[in-house]
């Protein structure tokens, strides 16, 4: 089953009189359960493509389908609903709420989706155990290492049981060992839960984990290859 389908998507940005074509007629399908890396140099279009998939931006032309739904036809509120219920995000800078504990950060998507207190507690504790941070449940982000913060971000992304997780340079602010731990965790959760992971990166160590690598250059896909991953 296709989780993502991109049809002839182009994205043009205008800054003053300068026109930049970030994507040029991109076509891409991603199946359920894939562990896919979008790779390419800075300015290649990989982050723009990730934003299109995540309903964070709209194409200038073309269509984006998530679980067979044309998200380019949705209004702003409907796209927000799609993000909240279907898509989890992992960011380069963790993006945890600094005044909340690790537990409360993971709980936040469940609060927004209207889950009961018992449902929230069960799910949060399940995820904290999955990322091996139950002993840090009451710590705020500034009391956690970078690697621990990113593991909490992974748990938060998984909280509402999305079908798709998007990660933009998920290890860019981590040292080698913490980056490896986060990628090992994402890979394990992909295998255990079947959730689809798509991550943008230029780090060769991270690319090595991907089962599929989609290479972009100047806004077009230049290579699409399969591998066994680690």
Residues of the chain with pLDDT > 70: what percent? 99
Contact of 84 with 109, CB cutoff 8 Å: yes
For the chain, count helices (H), then strands (E): 7, 10
Per-residue pLDDT band for 229 (boundaries 50, 70, 90) equals low
Residue 230 has pLDDT above 60, yes or no: no
Q: Give CATH superfamily name and number for 32-60+70-226.
A: P-loop containing nucleotide triphosphate hydrolases (3.40.50.300)
List CB contacts of 229: < 8 A, sequence separation 6 or more: 35, 187, 208, 209, 210, 211
Contact of 60 with 10, CB cutoff 8 Å: yes
- Quote the pTM value: 0.90
81-85, 102-106, 111-115 — which one is most confidently predicted on average? Answer: 102-106
Per-residue pLDDT band for 85 (boundaries 50, 70, 90) equals confident
Query: What CA–CA distance (Å, rounded) separates 100 from 102?
Result: 7
- The sign of the torsion formed by the CA atoms of 137, 130, 182, 26 equals negative
Other C-beta atoms closer than 10 Å to the C-beta of 181 total 18
Query: Contacts by 174-178 with C-beta closer than 8 Å and gap 24+?
Result: 174/146, 174/147, 174/150, 175/146, 175/147, 176/205, 177/147, 178/145, 178/146, 178/147, 178/150
Residues 25-79: tens digit of each pLDDT:
999 999 999 999 999 988 899 999 999 999 999 999 999 999 999 999 999 999 9
List CB contacts of 230: < 8 A, sequence separation 6 or more: 187, 208, 209
Residue 202 has pLDDT above 90, yes or no: no
Per-residue pLDDT band for 226 (boundaries 50, 70, 90) equals confident
pLDDT of residue 228: 61
Residues 105-145: tens digit of each pLDDT:
999 999 888 899 999 999 999 999 999 999 999 999 999 99
Query: What CA–CA distance (Å, rounded) separates 19 from 169?
Result: 26
Q: Which of 51-55, 153-157, 225-229 has the lowest mean pLDDT?
A: 225-229
Domains of the chain, residue spans: 32-60+70-226
The first and second tokens of residue 206, run together, are 């991270």
């Amino acid at each position: 089953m296709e989780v993502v389908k991109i049809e002839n998507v182009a994205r043009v940005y205008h800054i003053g009189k300068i026109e930049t074509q970030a994507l040029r007629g991109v076509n891409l399908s991603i199946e359920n359960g894939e562990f896919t890396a979008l790779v390419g140099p800075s300015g290649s279009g990989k982050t723009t493509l990730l934003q299109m998939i995540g309903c964070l931006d709209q194409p200038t032309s073309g269509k984006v389908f998530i679980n067979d739904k044309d998200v380019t036809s949705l209004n702003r509120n409907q796209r927000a609903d799609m993000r909240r219920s279907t898509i989890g995000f992992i960011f380069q800078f963790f993006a945890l709420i600094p005044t909340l504990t690790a537990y409360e950060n993971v709980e936040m998507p469940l609060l927004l989706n209207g889950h009961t207190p018992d449902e929230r507690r069960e799910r949060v504790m399940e995820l904290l155990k999955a990322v091996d941070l139950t002993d840090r449940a009451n710590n705020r982000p500034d009391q956690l290492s970078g690697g621990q913060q990113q593991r909490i971000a992974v748990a938060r992304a998984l909280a509402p049981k999305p079908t798709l997780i998007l990660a933009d340079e998920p290890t860019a602010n981590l040292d080698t060992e913490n980056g490896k731990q986060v990628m090992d965790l994402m890979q394990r959760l992909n295998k255990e839960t079947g959730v689809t992971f798509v991550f943008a990166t230029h780090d060769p160590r991270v690319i090595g984990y991907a089962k599929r690598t989609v290479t972009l250059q100047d806004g077009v896909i230049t290579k699409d290859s399969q591998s066994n991953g680690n």
